[in-house]
Amino acid sequence: MDADDLPHLVRLLKGLADESRLQILGILADDEWSVRHLAERLGLTEPTVSHHLRKLQELDLVQMRAVGTTHLYRLDRATLQTASRALLSRERLAALGAAAPETADAKVRRTFLDGERLTQIPTSPKKRRVILEWLVADFAEGVEYPEATVNAILQRHHPDTATLRRELIIHQLMQRADGVYWRTPGEVLS
C-alpha cells in the first residue's frame, strides 16, 4: 500500500463510521433518491440528510444529478468497489500491518529532539526518562569519564549540562564518585 493510500483509507472509514451514512448508502444502492425522500424514509431532517450526503460526496461515494429543482443522489458503485479492493484485499491488509505505529518513546524523542539537539528537557518524569535513556547511550559501559568530558558530551545535545548530569544520576543511569562518572550497567534502549 502506498503511503498516500493510508490517509485516504482512514478518511473513508471515518466517513463511513456513521449509522445514518451507512443507511443512506444502503438506500442509494438500489435507486436514486432526493433529500426529501431520504429524510422521510430515515426519519431525519432534510438539513441532516444534506449534511451526510455532502460528506459522502466528499468521499466520492455518492453522485448527484439535478432534475429541475430537485437533486437526486445515487451510489457511485465504482468508487465503492475501488475502496473495497483497497481495504479488503489480503495484500492491502498485510501492508497496513507492516506499517507499524510509532512507539511512545519514538514520539517523545521526535517531540523533544531536533536532530541531535535536545530542544528542552521534558518536565514529565516518563518523558524525561526516555530522553535520559537516549542521552546515556553516548556513554560506553565500563569507561570512567571526568566531569569535563561528561559536560562536553552533554553539551552537544543541550546547554544545561548540570541538570542533565544530575538527572542521569537521579535516574541511576550513571554513577559518580570524586568527579568521575560512569554508566550504570544494564540495557538501555536508545
pLDDT tens digits, 127-155: 999 999 999 999 999 999 999 999 999 99
CATH hierarchy code of domain 5-98: 1.10.10.10
pLDDT at 3: 46
Count Cβ atoms below 10 Å from residue 54 Cβ, excluding itself.
11
Could you tell me where the DSSP H helices lie in 29-66? 35-42, 46-58
pLDDT tens digits, 117-127: 999 999 999 99
d(CA 89, CA 104): 30
Q: For the chain, give every domain's residue range.
A: 5-98, 104-183
* Angle at 34 (CA atoms; ends 67, 50), nearest 5 degrees: 115
* Angle at 116 (CA atoms; ends 114, 122), nearest 5 degrees: 65
d(CA 25, CA 161): 61
Spans of the chain below 70 pLDDT:
1-6, 86-89, 92-100, 187-190
Predicted structure pTM score: 0.49
